């Protein structure tokens, strides 16, 4: 019984939150890696692009709520996803037309692209802050919990509860759906194959008649979907605040590089690697161990490897270690 209790504690406080957080990171990391693979630059506007999409979801959620439109027990934000995605893709294509395409045609070095994306980051941040302001916003409605701790205790008779927030379940399910559709698209369809070909070798792809404009367009469309959905899921689970989204760019980059940049599947797993590492290393294992060992041996300290203040630092340290030992990432990406 104690053993099951220990497992429940661990699942409740680490595994479920890490799965949800990892899914959000994974979507962002695939976005980064896709831009890197096809358009060949590190996009420093990642966090703010996610924030841009989420902003529309937040505003539309408020509007739908005001006219009484909703999904019952599901959050209204799910209804806004298609509209937010359309706005996001339009914005990305606009930016691409006026900013990135010039450097792409000129075949500028990646560093120049990175600096340009810093400029885009500034502009996007300004637009977001001017439209919605910098404050913290919650836009979750509908049922909050799928499984409450007390219900679980009554159901199983265990002394530890297991909670499953609806946002966590939605995050994991939506991520799995989106990611599987995306992988199916990249691997099985003709357009996806042409994208991979373009990413592998631009010149050969052009020779075999692949239209680069179409590839770029499709990339931004997929990127827009990933960025918006990832941003909305994060905002539902925690809350929407432009500054936090900007900061999220860093673990997302870490996930993309740890997974091997340019490799979408690696980025997907990289998101979970980062999330699990962050949460497992900063979790206090006192209660978990207390169930496993006899009472006399109960630990007095929190049994925490690092305090939660260092959450971000953990993921960055993992990145540094990976860069040191295996610069191409855990799952081989493009060579660095």
Partner 1 sequence: MRKYSNIIAAYSIMLILILLVGIFQSWSIALTILNYCLISAVMTIGANIQWGYAGLINFGIMGYTALGGLAVVLVSVDPVQQAWQAGGLNILICFWIIVVMVVLIRYLLKHFDKSKYRTYGITFVIIGGILLLRSTATPGIEAIEAVDPAKTGFLGGMGLPVLFSWIGGAFLAGGLAFIVGKIALGLRADYLAIATLLIAEIVVSIIKHEEWLARGVKNVIGLKRPAPYEIDLQTSQWFINLVETFHAKKLSMINSLTERQDALSQMVIDASSIYVKLCFTGLFLSVVIILLIVTQKALYSPWGRKMRAIRDNEEAASAMGKNIVKEHLFIFILGSAIVGIAGAMMVTNDGLFTPGSYRPMRYTFVIWVMVIVGGTGNNFGAILGGFVVWFLWVEAAPMALFLINLFTSHLPETNSVRVHLIESAPYFRFLVIGIGLLTIMRYRPKGILPEKIEIK
| Nearest to partner 1 of 127, 146 (CB atom) | 127
- Of positions 15, 42, 74, 289, contacts partner 1 by CB under 8 A: 42
Alpha helices (H) in 12-109, listed in sequence order? 16-34, 46-66, 77-95, 101-106
CA distance 157 to 167: 26
* Positions in 119-138 near partner 1 (CB under 8 A): 119-127, 129-130, 133-134
For residue 314, the SS3 value is helix
Q: Does 25 bind partner 1 (CB under 8 A)?
A: no
Q: What is the residue-wise DSSP string for 193-220?
A: HHHHHHHH-HHHHHHTT--HHHHHHHHH
| Nearest to partner 1 of 44, 220 (CB atom) | 44
Binding mask 237-256 for partner 1 (x = CB under 8 A): ---------x---x--xx--
CA distance 137 to 196: 38
CA distance 46 to 274: 17
- Of positions 41, 152, 272, 291, contacts partner 1 by CB under 8 A: 41
Q: In whole angstroms, how close is the CB of 16 to partner 1 at the nearest point?
A: 26
For residue 300, the SS3 value is coil
CA distance 293 to 289: 6
Both tokens assigned to 260: 């091997």
CA distance 328 to 336: 6
CA distance 203 to 220: 20
Q: Does 183 bind partner 1 (CB under 8 A)?
A: no
CA distance 240 to 125: 14
CA distance 61 to 101: 33
φ/ψ bin of 239: left (φ > 0), alpha (ψ from -120 to 50), beta (otherwise): beta
| Nearest to partner 1 of 82, 134 (CB atom) | 134
Q: In whole angstroms, how close is the CB of 159 to partner 1 at the nearest point?
A: 30
Q: Does 112 bind partner 1 (CB under 8 A)?
A: yes
- What is the total count of residues that contact partner 1 (CB under 8 A)? 45
Binding mask 74-103 for partner 1 (x = CB under 8 A): -------------------------x--x-
Q: In whole angstroms, how close is the CB of 255 to partner 1 at the nearest point?
A: 12
Q: Does 118 bind partner 1 (CB under 8 A)?
A: yes
Q: Does 280 bind partner 1 (CB under 8 A)?
A: no
* Positions in 2-21 near partner 1 (CB under 8 A): none
Q: Return the range that interacts with partner 1 (CB under 8 A); candidates 77-85, 153-161, 232-240, 304-312.
A: 304-312
For residue 35, the SS3 value is helix
Q: Does 303 bind partner 1 (CB under 8 A)?
A: no
Q: In whole angstroms, how close is the CB of 237 to partner 1 at the nearest point?
A: 22
Q: In whole angstroms, how close is the CB of 323 to partner 1 at the nearest point?
A: 6
Q: Return the range that interacts with partner 1 (CB under 8 A); candidates 41-49, 82-90, 168-176, 286-294.
A: 41-49
Both tokens assigned to 272: 């979970």
C-alpha 102, offset from chain centre:
29
Provide φ and ψ at 182, rounded to 5°.
-65, -45
Can you give the binding site for partner 1, defined by CB under 8 A?
41-42, 44, 99, 102, 109-116, 118-127, 129-130, 133-134, 246, 250, 253-254, 257, 307, 309-310, 312-313, 316-317, 319-320, 323-324, 327, 336
């Amino acid at each position: 019984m104690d053993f099951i209790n220990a497992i429940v504690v661990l699942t409740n406080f680490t595994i479920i939150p890490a799965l949800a957080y990892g899914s959000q990171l994974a979507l962002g990391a695939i976005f980064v890696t896709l831009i890197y693979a096809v358009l060949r630059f590190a996009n420093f506007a990642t966090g703010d692009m996610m924030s841009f999409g989420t902003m529309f979801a937040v505003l539309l959620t408020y509007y739908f709520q005001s006219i009484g439109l909703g999904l019952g027990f599901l959050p209204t934000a799910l209804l806004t996803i298609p509209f937010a995605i359309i706005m996001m893709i339009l914005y990305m294509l606009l930016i691409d037309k006026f900013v990135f395409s010039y450097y792409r045609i000129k075949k500028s070095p990646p560093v120049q692209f990175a600096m340009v994306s810093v400029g885009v980051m500034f502009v996007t941040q300004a637009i977001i802050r001017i439209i919605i302001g910098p404050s913290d916003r919650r836009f979750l409605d509908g049922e909050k919990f799928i499984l409450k701790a007390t219900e679980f205790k009554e159901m199983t008779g265990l002394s530890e509860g297991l909670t499953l927030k609806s946002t966590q379940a939605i995050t994991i399910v939506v991520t799995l759906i989106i990611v599987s559709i995306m992988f199916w698209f990249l691997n099985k369809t003709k357009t996806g194959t042409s994208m991979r070909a373009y990413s592998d070798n631009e010149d050969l792809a052009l020779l075999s008649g692949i239209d680069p404009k179409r590839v770029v367009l499709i990339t931004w469309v997929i990127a827009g979907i990933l960025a918006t959905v990832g941003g909305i899921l994060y905002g539902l689970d925690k809350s929407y605040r432009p500054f936090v989204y900007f900061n999220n760019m860093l673990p997302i980059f870490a996930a993309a590089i740890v997974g091997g940049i340019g490799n979408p599947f690696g980025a997907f797993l990289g998101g979970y690697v980062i999330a699990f590492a962050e949460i497992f290393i900063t979790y206090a294992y006192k209660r978990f161990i207390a169930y496993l060992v006899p009472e006399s041996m109960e630990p007095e300290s929190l049994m925490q490897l690092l305090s939660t203040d260092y959450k971000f630092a953990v993921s960055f340290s993992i990145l540094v270690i990976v860069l040191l030992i295996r610069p191409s990432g855990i799952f081989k990406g493009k060579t660095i």
